[in-house]
Every structure is written in C-alpha cells, then in structure tokens.
Chain A
Amino acid sequence: QQQVKQSPQSLIVQKGGISIINCAYENTAFDYFPWYQQFPGKGPALLIAIRPDVSEKKEGRFTISFNKSAKQFSLHIMDSQPGDSATYFCAAKGGNQFYFGTGTSLTVIP
C-alpha cells in the first residue's frame, strides 16, 4: 500500500516557468515532509522540508505549500531553470523511516 501518492509522473516546463508537483498522504502520524532532488547517477538529496504545523516554506526559488486538513503538499519551483531538470521525490517521515512518492521527472526546456 503506497503511503504517499505523487503526481505528475513527468513534467515539461519552459525555462522561466513554474513547476508544480503534488503529493498526498493518509497517515496523520507523519511528522515531517521533505522533498528530495535526484540527478542521474546520484542519490536523492534533500531539497527543502516542512513540518505539518507550517502551511508554507520558501527557500530561494523553491516553495512547499502544505495543507494539513486536505493531507496534501506540493513543491513549487519558480523561474524554473534547465539545471533544475531532475527527478523529484516527496516523502513523509513516520518513526525513523521515510515513505517516498513515486517520483516526478522534471525537464526544463531552454
């Protein structure tokens, strides 16, 4: 049973556009929601994260929006750049393990 559902599977955005990736979860015991960025041949690396008592967190061009009542959270990448092209995973922490989404392959076209 998949604990975190992520969409879309792939996304193509023009340079300068906004990339939006959505995730949903069911388990209200999850207490931390990170987003990971993975480049080919590399492991996932933490990009930005949020706790469930916060509705939004912004770091540079990256913003997480969190809706606790709807059990949904999303990643917004403003002014998307070709260097942002990667696979993005949302995740939720329960206990000492993370539950990941299926990943979104983002391609930013110059």
Chain B
Amino acid sequence: EAGVTQFPSHSVIEKGQTVTLRCDPISGHDNLYWYRRVMGKEIKFLLHFVKESKQDESGMPNNRFLAERTGGTYSTLKVQPAELEDSGVYFCASSRSGTVITGRGYTFGSGTRLTVV
C-alpha cells in the first residue's frame, strides 16, 4: 500500500506569509494526526482527526494554525500569518480505526520542512 504522502517536502516563506501543508493518508485510514518537530526539540502532537472530525486539537499552538480534512480524505494545515517560531518539520501520520493502540499501524509521512525567514 502507498504510504503517507506529504507535500511540499520543503517550504521557505517570509514572515507574515501564508503556507498550506498537505497530507494524504494511507487509503482507508480514518485517523490522521499532525505533529511538529522544532529543531532539536521533541516531536509534538498538534491534532487528531477521525475522518473529517477534529477529535483532539489540544496541541495546536495558536489560532494562526488551521487544520482541515474535508471529506475525511486528505488534510491541510494552514499557517497564517507565519512567524519565525513556526519553523520546523511538520509530520503527518495515519492509522486505521482501532490500531493506534499498538502504534504499529501508525505510519508517519516524510514530513514538510518549513522555514520562516
């Protein structure tokens, strides 16, 4: 099966601009997660979709971040306006319903490296 696909792989934008990251989960995976790693820090949870519904968005840093998952398929994460501290690698992961408990069905994408200058 195809893996989790994220694009772009890299994005360099100026402070104040808008950037939209996209994640295509593995087909059939109802659960979709966004995580972020700021350089040298831990990978941090941002939010969790079950199909098109936000199950948990407790990790979203502030209201400059907007995540959507229309139709329960791909998801987008928009940052508007971007700030310097938003730089980092944004990972998306997906899993089937009921498999997240083991983590084995929890597949990460390769990430989008966002640099805000």
Stretch of A56-64, A65-73, A74-82, A95-103 at the chain-chain interface: A95-103
Give the dominant DSSP class at A's interface: strand
Contact with A along B54-65 (1 / 0, CB 8 A): 011001000000
Judged by a CB distance under 8 angstroms, whether A18 is at the interface is: no
Chain B residue numbers with a CB within 8 Å of A91 are 43, 103
Counting chain B residues whose Cβ lies within 8 A of the other chain, the interface size class is 20 to 34
- CB-based nearest A residue for B101: A32
Contact with B along A33-52 (1 / 0, CB 8 A): 01010000111111001000
> Is B56 a contact of A95 with CB atoms below 8 Å?
yes
> Is A46 a contact of B43 with CB atoms below 8 Å?
no
Chain B: minimal CB distance from A85 (Å): 18
**A41 to B107 alpha-carbon distance, docked (Å):** 15
Judged by a CB distance under 8 angstroms, whether B88 is at the interface is: no
> Is A97 a contact of B56 with CB atoms below 8 Å?
yes
Chain A: minimal CB distance from B77 (Å): 15
